[in-house]
Chain A
Amino acid sequence: MRRIAFAAIALTVSGAALAAPEIRWLPDHSAVEVTGIDAALLKGTEATPDKWAALFSVRTDGADEKQPAMLGTWSATGTMLRFTPRFPLTPGLRYRATWQAADGKPVTATHDVPKVNAAPSTVVERIYPGGETVPENLLKFYLHFSASMSGGDIYKHIHLREESGREVELPFLEIDEELWDREMKRLTLFIDPGRIKREVKPLVDIGPALVAGRRFTLTIDAAWQDASGLPLKQKGVKTFAVTPPDRTSPDPKTWSITAPRAGGREPLRVAFPEPMEHALALRLIGVAEVSGKTDLNDAGTQWSFVPDKPWRAGAHRLVIQPDLEDLAGNSIGKPFEVDIAGTEKEKPAAKPVNLEFEVKTGK
């Protein structure tokens, strides 16, 4: 024991005498400092980032000296030089700071940024359409996650399989932009439109992605990472049956409205004979002059609206924007595909559709 203690003292003393440079990371990983350096080396306030980086640089541990050093800023105080990275360090990575000492021998220090140490908790909360059947010419799915996800190379995690287990090849429109919402909690997954549109080459050559009369399973791999870098808690699965293609526009005249009573905040209910597209039904149907919250059941056939303030008695108007679509992209204003060879003529620009309903007093 005594010998060891002596040795430690001796080292400290000799270290102070030689003023060996020491590298120290700030505990919050926000910067790294090298101390005990020859201040003469730091002279020259004209130093450019390249010059600073030649003296004191940080790289991820996997990057060799040929790779560029990390972007950041340098600040010198006496015999200390501090490097503040331009971006926060990435959890789970090791970084290496290198001080190029005057004697030519580099001084290096590595620094580990701890991984996010939590159990996977993110799940696929909902997949829309939420019903048990979809038309053969279904246009899209929405995947709703319980937390923000990570993007990039996402399509490898999404599989559409026939009942036999055979995977449908390239069923989706894979685009680099990836159609997320701002929070990256909802992904829009379009079926490849070339496999929906009649007489278009992909459909002619290889057929539709979904085939009427068959069952399919959409699977989301658990390996897909959320925004914190953790995999999903479990895979997401939706099985559904396919019905023949739907090529007609939804007709609001066929909807049935159940009007609420005045004085309360009972929901207005609207039933559709066929499922409506989830996001559009929430956004494109409303009540004129009344603010409130819309909802749609999983099957997409029951829409409801709860007003912010109690209903007032009298005539009200349900307003449906013409872009509202069913599951096959047929909008109120126009079917997904218009047969222009036949008798259909160019229609005037579609306008919102109004459906009147009466809010009555009493029970």
Chain B
Amino acid sequence: MKTLSTLAFSCLALSVSFAADAPAGLTEGKAEFKSMGPITFALDGTLFIADTKSAAIVAVATNDAKASGSAKPVKVEEFDKKVASLLGTAPDQIKINDVAVNPVSHQVYVAVSRGKGPDAVPVLLRSDAEGKLSEVALDKVKHSRAQLPDAPVDGVVGEGRRQSNPRMESITDIAFLEDRVLVAGLSNEEFSSTLRAIPYPFKTVEGGTSVEIYHGAHGKFETKSPVRTFVPFMVGKEPELLAAYTCTPLVRFPINALKPGAKIKGRTIAELGNQNRPLDMIVYKKDGKDFLLLANSSRGVMKISTDGIEAAGVIEEPVRGGGTKGQSYETIKEWTGVEQLDKLDEAHALVLRKGEGSAVTLESLPLP
């Protein structure tokens, strides 16, 4: 879902070759998955799929590299019903985990679970502009796999009667940037946040970087804080990550500091209101300026200015009385119910939105 946001890096990216026919380091065979989502693309159309249940990131050559300059408008109503129909089940038996646009072909990829129990089957679908769905076959594809490190060390030793370890780390977001995949994870036990930068082509996985933040509160308290969604963004000449934490502040930190074992404190650049969960974000350019678009659970879609972000200080005082602070933003009123967000092309976003009742629509909207 983050692919096109990396276009903000095109100045960097251009120095890297994207002309290769097949991405390096991929081998042909069956790409195995226990789960799928989040997903994201590299600029050359390589798809990265996070498999939380296998604790792995899989790079897949989609063979969908027919370039099209601009995308066709998309509007697929009852998208969830269409997906359920294709998979031969009821709409309440599927879960759409993520949606991403191939930046080369502008085709829409959808990571779906069929079933809702532990045996749910992951399925990758592709949708054209008219909403015609097909399954992306993964039996014989060029792919490459990065296994994430195991859970933190156990205190309990031994074999034989060893207790099963129910710890898992959910992958909450991924993004591709130049030569690495950035992966945010959240443990189902300790309240820790790891943000890993995995060099691509995959070789070995580094230990991951734990990110810590103190929230704009007199610069007083420092706590671990899981990343919900993030996007790479150029601040001046420095590649940074703009990240929304589970407890709502929007923060930034330099990507170059993401080194194994490092500790990074995010700088709070905006407080976006309470009783709200950040869901997904992209960056885009309009009239020569960069904007951040953030979908939220209860505060709609926010268009956030990045003006002056380079010089903006950390928010040191708590924001009281239900207000907000930091980078200025406007709420895009018309964009109701947006749950998934990606860039379709330079002028359009692709959204998955829930309307009245439970109707789910996949559609393109002009970037605000």
Residues of chain A having any CB pair with chain B under 8 Å:
58-60, 62-63, 67-72, 85-87, 89-90, 93, 95, 139-140, 148-152, 169-170, 173-177, 179-184, 186, 188, 190, 192-194, 197-202, 204-206, 226-228, 277, 279-280, 282-294, 308, 319-321, 323-325, 329, 331, 336-341, 352
Contact = CB atoms under 8 A, between A and B. Distances in A.
* From A89, A177, A277, residue with most partner B Cβ within 10 Å: A177
Interface string B141-170: 000000000001111111111110111101
Given A148-B117, A151-B117, A198 B89 contact: no
Contacts of A188: 188-189
A182 B53 contact: yes
B117 A197 contact: no
B274 A206 contact: yes
A283 B165 contact: yes
Interface in B103-143: 114, 116-121, 132-133, 135
B90 A93 contact: yes
Nearest to A200: B215
Given A199-B318, A279-B167, A323-B190, A285 B155 contact: yes
Nearest to B118: A184
B30 interface: no
A238 to B, nearest CB: 19
Given A60-B85, A93-B90, A199-B217, A282 B172 contact: no
A201 B248 contact: yes
Nearest to B217: A199
Interface stretch (B200-208, B221-229, B251-259, B305-313): B221-229
Contacts of A338: 221-223
* From B52, B88, B190, B191, residue with most partner A Cβ within 10 Å: B88
A150 B116 contact: yes
Contacts of B314: none
A169 B276 CA distance: 11
Contacts of A277: 189
Given A148-B117, A175-B246, A202 B223 contact: no
Contacts of B186: 175, 177, 179
Main SS at interface, chain B: loop
Interface in B163-215: 163, 165-168, 170-172, 186, 188-192, 214-215
B158 A290 contact: yes
A85 to B, nearest CB: 6
Contacts of B160: 291, 308
A359 B217 CA distance: 50
Contacts, number: 244
A283 B155 CA distance: 6
B273 interface: yes
B90 A90 contact: yes
Contacts of A175: 170, 172, 186, 228, 246, 277
A339 B87 contact: no
A174 B297 contact: yes
A201 B89 contact: no
B81 A63 contact: yes
B190 A280 contact: yes
Contacts of A226: 117
B161 A293 contact: yes
A225 to B, nearest CB: 8
8 contacts: A139-B191, A150-B117, A193-B246, A202-B248, A279-B189, A291-B157, A321-B152, A336-B191
A183 B120 CA distance: 11
B172 A68 contact: no
Contacts of A180: 118, 168, 188
A70 B248 CA distance: 41
B218 A199 contact: yes
B17 interface: no
Contacts of B95: 151-152
B88 A71 contact: yes
Nearest to B38: A177
Given A194-B248, A201-B248, A174 B277 contact: yes
Interface in B273-301: 273-275, 277, 279, 297
Contacts of B93: 90
